[in-house]
Chain A
Amino acid sequence: MNALSDTPPEFEQTKTQKPDRVYFFGTCLIDLFYPDAGLSAIQLIEREGVNVIFPQAQSCCGQPPYNSGYREEAIQVAKVQMDALHESIPVVVPSGSCAGMMKFHYPELFKNHLRAKQAQAFSERIIEWSAFLHRVLQIKLEDLGQPTRVALHTSCSARREMGVTEDGLALLRQLQQVDLAEPERASECCGFGGTFSVKQPEIAASMAADKCNAIKQTGAEMLVSGDCGCLMNLEGTLKKSAEYSSAHTIDSTHLAQFIWQRVSK
């Protein structure tokens, strides 16, 4: 885990190499709950002249059973992803959490396995979506939207494993009409944590409530995140609290969808 640096060295090397084609790994949450975020992420890549391949055989990175201690189940599902994304081209992942799983935990998962080498090579092709746009494509964004104030929430995996907080911020800073707000304790976990939010719902809820209060205090009109797990948690909490008060409500969306909407009107 690259704990403190926001720029893992492996990405520095890929900075100038713009690929012709990339795989897109949609993640299971995007697939079922936020497909528009996935589509926006794909369209932003395609706009830069890169072909996006979306293999239908992909499903989930395997993190839920892995974090719950069901290693064998995680291995079996991880194999399917490695097979579906087998060509030696970058795999772009619109989630720091799934990207972290594939990049840092696949090698561990397969360490005593016949597929150890494959897992290592696979992990080296993983790149988180905002880092791909910012570092590899070096995308230039033209903001066509109305002035707004936005807060970015970076997932713990995106921040601590993938080190991509800066990439998300850099993309948002390119949007001229977007005023960036930094919530208090921005680096603290929102309380989602996959099965954690189900197994410890009370602690998770208290973390989410604090996070939402900090976001509200910034006066932001919109919350964006590069991770749909956090988004689902925070969005659900914000909407629930809005049910009880008519004051200042905050919309939320995936970073990709937000950017796509700002640049494609």
Chain B
Amino acid sequence: MSAPFRDQAIHALQDEQLRENFRGAMDFLQGKRKAVFSDTIELENLRQQGHQIKAEALANLPELLEQLDSQCSKNGIQVHWAETPEQACEIIHGIIEQNNGKLAVKGKSMVSEEIGLNHYLEARGIECLESDMGEYIVQLAQETPSHIIMPAIHKSKSQIATLFNATIPDTPYTENVDELIGTGRRILREKFQKADIGISGVNFAVAETGTLCLVENEGNGRMCTTVPPVHIAITGIEKVIPRLSDLPPLLSLLTRSATGQLITTYFNLISSPRKPDEKDGPEAVHLVLLDNGRSRMYQHPELRETLRCIRCGACMNHCPVYTRIGGHAYGTVYPGPIGQVVMPQINGLDQQGEMTEGCSLNGACGEVCPVEIPLPDLIRKLREERVQPQPAESPVNGAGSHRTRVEATAWRFWRWVYQHPELYRIVTWWATRLGSMLPNRLGPWTRTRVKPVIARQSLHEIMRERSNQPD
């Protein structure tokens, strides 16, 4: 049975340049993370701390969100609530219209990808320029991010050189990285000066103080949030944390897990619009809090753990499947292990349940997750929800949608054999006698492997004979 995920994966596997790009990048990132977490005891303590902070935040999510709302409002940040992507887009468009905005510059935000903001605004005559270098490259190429931290990681230096040469006027072909970055910087600088609106994501939203935190390396985020007169931040509701003192451990986990950095070049704490005595900063700051299926995730006792994610991308960097097929093969906003957990819950198992099969349950993602999300367990849980016999009892969208009579019957038959020792004995007796008659071609297995050889005597039989022998 072929499916979109599998088709796209096959396509990606055939692209040798792509595989080489990902392999190199993931090896590099794995090495960086390993080096920066050389003290395994410290790492374990920090992971536990991160887990606890996010678990506490989730346990009190409704209260913390109310607190965040009231603290932000007190600080002069205008808070908006959006249940769906459409609502979020409408809210943002409304704010831009009120300010007669024509050009928006954007810092990196996966949530804005999630709601399809660029297309929504462009269709309404508003230019929306990505200012993160990776996002800028992806936007120029009219693609989507292939990684949540490093959006253009699927591209090699020479591919970017070709892209710049072809799409930016008066740009000679060069593989000199400094020159390439210089080109991007020159164009972005002009846009920062002209922009009416700055749009950004949020890494952590502190309920205690009403502070929005933004982690970045390029300084473009700070440009977006200070230069234009209006700043709109958008985030999923799961990004709220209780206290300012929770920031240092989470920040450390985030940067070290994501890029192997102890700290990033910039860490922005935004707590209000420009005050009368301040020299820079926007005149208005808006915060859009997006649900988009998150409160549904919240209802499931196990899948709720999905919401602990701090979007570091470490699970992708360590996933052997992601390493081989890259982010685009998933065909979703969030790829890799966390994508396999998030996307089917947002868009429904009927729409995106297939991607849960793109996992060998090897556990590498769970091993590196900085907040200890049991990703393999959640992927397995979603597979279970997908083939649920009683979908009405599940809070997961699209539960039971992939249950087929053929597969369910096959597993029932399997159980029947393995449940009854006498039956199992008969089946294995015949298998060991007739195993050599199996054809050499056994579906996809033997395309790249020789067929496995069934033994002439099962271990059961050997042990039976052995126990019958007198000592």
Contacts and interface: CB of A to CB of B under 8 A. Distances in A.
Contact of B321 (A31, A33, A71, A203): A203
B13 A206 contact: yes
Contact of A39 (B44, B428, B459): B459
B324 A67 contact: no
Nearest to A160: B363
B450 A243 contact: yes
Interface residues of A, number: 68
A169 B386 CA distance: 40
Interface in B7-25: 9-10, 13, 19
Contact of A56 (B19, B435, B451, B463): B463
B100 interface: no
Contacts of B386: 69
Given A31-B428, A206-B324, A56 B445 contact: no
Contact of B455 (A32, A80, A84, A197): A32
Interface stretch (B110-118, B193-201, B221-229, B354-362): B354-362
A73 B374 contact: no
A108 B384 CA distance: 14
Contact of B387 (A70, A189, A240): A70
Interface string A57-100: 10110101111111101001100100010000000000000000
A3 interface: yes
Most chain B beta-carbon neighbours within 10 Å: one of A26, A70, A233, A236: A70
Contact of A70 (B320, B364, B411): B411
A215 to B, nearest CB: 15
Nearest to A35: B459
B459 A156 contact: no
A52 B360 CA distance: 33
Contacts of A236: 445-446, 448-452
A164 interface: no
Contacts of B457: 35
Contacts of A232: 452
Interface stretch (B57-65, B175-183, B242-250, B413-421): B413-421
A189 B362 contact: yes
Contact of A67 (B383, B414, B448, B451): B383
A209 B454 CA distance: 23
Interface in A134-192: 156-157, 160-161, 187-189, 191-192
A4 interface: yes
A69 B428 contact: no
B366 A3 contact: yes
Q: By CB atoms of chain B within 10 A, which of A57, A65, A197, A201 has the most?
A: A201
Interface of B: 6, 9-10, 13, 19, 40, 43-44, 320-321, 324-325, 357-364, 366-367, 374, 377, 380, 383-387, 408, 411-412, 414-415, 417-419, 421, 424-425, 428, 431-432, 435, 443-455, 457-464, 467
10 residue pairs, one from A and one from B, having the closest CB atoms: A193-B360, A236-B449, A201-B444, A189-B362, A69-B383, A156-B362, A69-B384, A35-B459, A205-B448, A73-B415
9 contacts: A26-B460, A38-B459, A54-B459, A56-B421, A62-B418, A156-B364, A157-B363, A189-B320, A201-B445
Given A35-B461, A201-B444, A201-B447, 9 more contacts: A1-B366, A35-B459, A68-B383, A70-B411, A156-B362, A191-B360, A194-B361, A198-B444, A239-B450
